[in-house]
Amino acid sequence: MGLVPEVTGRVADVFADRVREHEEHALSPLAVRSYDTAGRPVAEAECSVRTPFQRDRDRILHSKPFRRLKGKTQVFIDPAGDHYRTRMTHTLETTAIARVVARGLALNEDLTEAIGLGHDLGHPPFGHAGEAALDELLRDQGGFRHNEQSARIAIELNLTREVIDGILTHTGPQEPRTLEGKIVRIVDRVAYINHDIDDAIRYGLLAEDDLPQAEIEILGPTGGQRIDTLVHDLIERSAASGDIVQSDEIGQAMLSLRSFMFERVYLGPETRPEHERAHEAIRRIFASGASVEFIAGMTDRFALSYAHDC
């Protein structure tokens, strides 16, 4: 026998009241409360056993755009090895680190998790090269930015406005409205810089000695140590300031390491053949009349196969 509507309603109210009471004692005054959201693009009845942000998390996890992230590589196009990061593993690493920071600052972990899981839903195939190719083809129409495409998907999934905002602003000039969103914005870089170094060394593009020594001395010699340094600094500085910030020394070292990766790996001469391969595939698919949404949703392998048949 199922619960009658009246009883179901009472269950939902009891659950929501329990969450509100817990968050009042457990969360920072600066945290977003789970039931104080700005709502969804289309109003929905609340779930009786999950908060709005927990529903967003589950909605993302069960979506097709999320599942396709496993077939979108982070840096290297359809690599043969089993241990290279994909856009999905990057998303999971970003989300895990972001939750640690949110917990350390007593912010809303569920909101942080939903933003982290959804931030790259709209990323096209072939990583940076694929995005650059689409941006070039769409220059007369305002270009292409994966954060904007991710936000469009988030709206289609009818996620809460706080999650949509965090996804939209995880990169680009606009700052997130919530501290939880600001965490993901910084942690996204923390994650990809360090795991892309690992992949670049495995691929043979970099050697340990190639890494800029001044930044390595500040952040640490291994990816795990660098992430640990960055996370501790982010929590400590943010707790003291009431905002999501890094110390000048650590923040600058991270940005310098990011610039190094763009120069040597993301846009470096060794990856130019890969970039040309990606650009040519995107151009062929676009010329065939495929929509931007269709192209952006492709996995690397599907895009290469589709381009071959164009």
Q: Walk along the chain (310 residues) and give the pLDDT tens digit of each residue.
A: 344 344 455 767 889 999 999 999 999 999 999 999 999 999 999 999 999 999 999 999 999 999 999 999 877 776 666 767 889 999 999 999 999 999 999 999 999 999 999 999 999 999 888 999 999 999 999 999 999 999 999 999 999 999 999 999 999 999 999 999 999 999 999 999 999 999 889 888 899 999 999 999 999 999 999 999 999 999 999 999 999 999 999 999 999 999 999 899 887 887 788 889 999 999 999 999 999 999 999 999 999 999 999 8
pLDDT of residue 9: 59
d(CA 170, CA 147): 7
pLDDT of residue 128: 85
d(CA 102, CA 260): 28
d(CA 309, CA 250): 48
DSSP-derived 3-state class of residue 86: strand
Q: What are phi and psi of 73, to 5 degrees?
A: -75, 160
Structure tokens at 153: 């998907």
d(CA 95, CA 118): 9
d(CA 154, CA 41): 10
Structure tokens at 280: 């040519």
Beta strands in the chain (DSSP E): none
Please name the residues in contact with 111: beta carbons below 8 A apart, sequence gap of 6 or more.
Answer: 32, 34, 53, 102, 162, 163, 166, 178, 180
User: Which domains does the chain possess?
Assistant: 52-309 (1.10.3210.10)
In the chain, % helix, strand, coil (3-state, to 5) comes to 65, 0, 30
pLDDT of residue 249: 97
Please name the residues in contact with 274: beta carbons below 8 A apart, sequence gap of 6 or more.
Answer: 76, 77, 126, 129
Output Rg (C-alpha) for the chain, integer angstroms.
21
